[in-house]
């Protein structure tokens, strides 16, 4: 019997290398968990029919001495990342039967490493939402409490890892879409530096914000996936060249943590989360970290800026799904009728809301809210760059509240958007940020804190994340 609950990539690799079990044994152990649990959780939209063929390839890599740390490691893959020959729907009816014509670059890299893809993970439609309730194929439930949400938009990815239905997962983050479900499901989620992981072959939501992001049970597992995939890709115009991926070292000792209390003390109404955060700060202080108060006056506008920039990019990206070129096509009166029928029935309410809002924002041009939002985004980026000359990390709670009940916020978009309250600054500035579990509430739900660092400082995040795992 394989101990999936305590399994890590390194432990699995060691056992596979020693022959304690095979790649097939490992994959089947996870598939058994899927069969036992996923009827209730609904983390997966589909289990791939070629899993056994994949494990044969992985086992051959071990036999030929060509194995890597990820050979035979079972992944779940968010339903907006293309795997050639497999359905990829982005959680939407408008792409319900769309088959990926090629592999995303991150999928190519994982295939080269011998990873095994178990299936596609559920998500909010086109990565719009904070609860995975906006999937066209039904909500995913939180493994800690099936009456609660797992977070979103990568809720299926986070839930699959938390419920031992995958060892690791690939999600995507536009604004907290990996860190928030990681927090709600008690796992680790990394939002890398923008341009760090290729976006080629990922269905776009917001081009200046989207980033492929790994989810795992431990910081080390997330680190292994990140380091496998972090490289320049000529097929992605936003991918940064390897020679320009230069960490910006600050005060040299990696021990200075800045906390912007002013950003969340007034907005953080959940006393348990505040107490857990303060306790986490004290633990870090007790092992030698210097804690300082910092001011980020522009960052308090991050969520407002995000909800102007993002819908504008959404309306542009989703214009291609018109019922003519590919995807769902419903007959109508002329071309405009096809557009109207296909988009009305193909998109869910949240996608339609953001498309309409984005079109309205862009109709005002740069003299309107969009232009002002870009200016504030620039100011937030500059103040973040400045503060990282003084501190090594910015630390906040990952989310402002514990996982909420299914249906509790579904009819209140603004309340749902507040899930991203502490996540937005890192997405707007392109800085890396990691969410790490920080305990369990009295209701048995997970707490989480996040650390943000300067561009290309992922190694520093892994270091503090690993230390925090030990002391918590």
Are 128 and 91 a contacting pair, CB within 8 Å?
no
Interatomic CA distance for residues 34 and 57, integer angstroms = 22
3-state secondary structure the chain: CCCHHHCCHHHHHHHHHHCCCCHHHHHHHHHHHHHHHHHHHCCEEEECCCHHHHHHHHHHHHHCCCCCCCCCCEEEEECCECCCCCECCCCCHHHCCCECCCCCHHHHHHHHHCCEEEEEECCCHHHCCCCCCCCCCCCCCECCECCECCCCCCHHHHHHHHCCCCCEEEEEECCCCCHHHHHHHCCEEEECCCCCECCCCECCCCCCCCEEEEEECCHHHHHHHHHHHECCCCCCCCCCCHHHCCCCCCCCCCCEEEECHHHHCCCCCCHHHHHHHHHHHHHHHHCCCEEEECCCCCHHHHHHHHHHHHHHHHHHHHHHCCCCCCCCCCCCCHHHHHHHHHHHHHCCHHHHHHHHHHHHHHHCHHHCHHHHHHHHHHHHHHHHHHHCCCCCEEEEECCCCCCCECCCCCCCHHHHHHHHCCCHHHHHHCCCEEEEEEEECCCCCEEEEEEECCCCCHHHHHHHHHHHHHHC
Q: The domain containing residue 173 runs over which residues?
A: 1-292+394-472
Encode pLDDT of 403-431 as tens digits.
999 999 988 877 787 788 899 999 999 99
Encode pLDDT of 200-216 as tens digits.
999 999 999 999 999 99
Structure-token match 């014509």, residue found: 101
334 phi-psi bin (left φ>0, alpha ψ -120 to 50, beta other)? left
Percent of the chain with pLDDT over 70: 98
pLDDT at residue number 250: 52
For residue 225, is it within any domain? yes
Encode pLDDT of 22-51 as tens digits.
999 999 999 999 999 999 999 999 999 999
For residue 29, is it within any domain? yes
For residue 329, is it within any domain? no
Encode pLDDT of 440-469 as tens digits.
999 999 999 999 999 999 999 999 999 999
- Across 320-345, average pLDDT: 90
For residue 28, is it within any domain? yes
Q: What is the pTM of this model?
A: 0.96
For residue 123, is it within any domain? yes
pLDDT at residue number 421: 85
- Across 166-192, average pLDDT: 98
For residue 308, is it within any domain? no
For residue 304, is it within any domain? no
Per the prediction, the chain carries an average pLDDT of 95
- Between the alpha carbon of residue 47 and those of residues 52, 117, 369, 458, 459, the distances in Å are 11, 9, 43, 32, 33
Q: Which two tokens stand for residue 174?
A: 């536009």
Which CATH number belongs to the domain containing residue 189 in this structure? 3.90.1300.10
Percent of the chain with pLDDT over 90: 90
pLDDT band at 251 (very low <50, low <70, confident <90, very high): very low
Give how many domains the chain has, as a whole number.
Answer: 1
Encode pLDDT of 119-153 as tens digits.
999 999 999 999 999 999 999 999 999 999 999 99
- Across 311-338, average pLDDT: 91
Are 76 and 166 a contacting pair, CB within 8 Å?
yes
For residue 324, is it within any domain? no
Instruction: Enumerate the β-bridge partners of residue 230.
Output: 197
């Amino acid at each position: 019997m394989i101990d999936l609950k305590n399994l890590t990539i390194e432990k699995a690799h060691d056992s596979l290398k020693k022959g304690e079990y095979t790649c097939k044994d490992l994959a089947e152990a996870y598939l058994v968990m899927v069969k036992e649990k996923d009827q209730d959780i609904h983390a997966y939209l589909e289990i791939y029919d070629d899993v056994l063929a994949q494990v044969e390839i992985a086992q051959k890599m071990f036999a030929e001495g060509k194995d890597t740390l990820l050979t035979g490691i079972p992944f779940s893959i968010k339903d907006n990342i293309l795997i050639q020959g497999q359905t990829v729907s982005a959680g939407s009816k408008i792409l319900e039967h769309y088959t990926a014509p090629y592999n995303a670059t991150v999928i190519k890299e994982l295939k080269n490493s011998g990873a095994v893809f178990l299936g596609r993970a559920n998500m909010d439609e086109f990565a719009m939402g904070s609860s995975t309730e906006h999937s066209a194929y039904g909500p995913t439930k939180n493994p800690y409490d099936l009456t609660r949400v797992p977070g979103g938009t990568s809720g299926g990815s986070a839930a699959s890892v938390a419920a031992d239905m995958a060892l690791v997962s690939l999600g995507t983050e536009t604004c907290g879409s990996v860190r928030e479900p990681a927090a709600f499901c008690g796992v680790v989620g990394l939002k890398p530096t923008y341009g760090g992981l290729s976006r080629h072959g990922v269905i776009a939501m917001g081009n200046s914000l989207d980033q492929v992001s790994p989810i795992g049970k431990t910081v080390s597992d997330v680190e292994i996936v990140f380091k496998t995939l972090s490289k320049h890709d000529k097929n992605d115009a936003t991918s940064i060249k390897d020679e320009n991926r230069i960490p910006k070292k600050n005060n040299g000792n990696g021990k200075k943590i800045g906390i912007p209390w002013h950003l969340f003390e007034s907005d953080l109404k959940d006393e348990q989360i505040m107490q857990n955060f303060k306790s986490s700060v004290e633990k870090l202080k007790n092992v030698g970290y210097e804690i300082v108060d910092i001011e980020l006056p522009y960052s308090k506008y991050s969520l407002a800026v995000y909800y102007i920039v993002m819908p504008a990019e959404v309306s542009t990206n989703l214009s291609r799904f018109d019922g003519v070129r590919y995807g769902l096509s419903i007959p109508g009166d002329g071309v405009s009728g096809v557009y109207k029928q296909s988009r009305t029935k193909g998109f869910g309410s949240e996608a339609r809301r953001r498309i309409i809002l984005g079109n309205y924002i862009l109709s005002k041009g740069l003299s309107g809210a969009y232009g002002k939002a870009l200016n504030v985004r620039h100011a937030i980026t500059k103040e973040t760059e400045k503060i990282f000359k003084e501190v090594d990390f910015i630390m906040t709670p990952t989310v402002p509240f514990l996982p909420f009940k299914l249906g509790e916020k579904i009819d209140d978009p603004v309340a749902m958007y507040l899930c991203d309250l502490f996540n937005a600054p890192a997405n707007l500035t392109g800085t890396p940020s990691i969410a790490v579990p920080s305990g369990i509430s009295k209701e048995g739900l997970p707490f989480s804190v996040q650390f943000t660092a300067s561009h290309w400082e992922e190694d520093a995040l892994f270091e503090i994340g690993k230390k925090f795992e030990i002391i918590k």
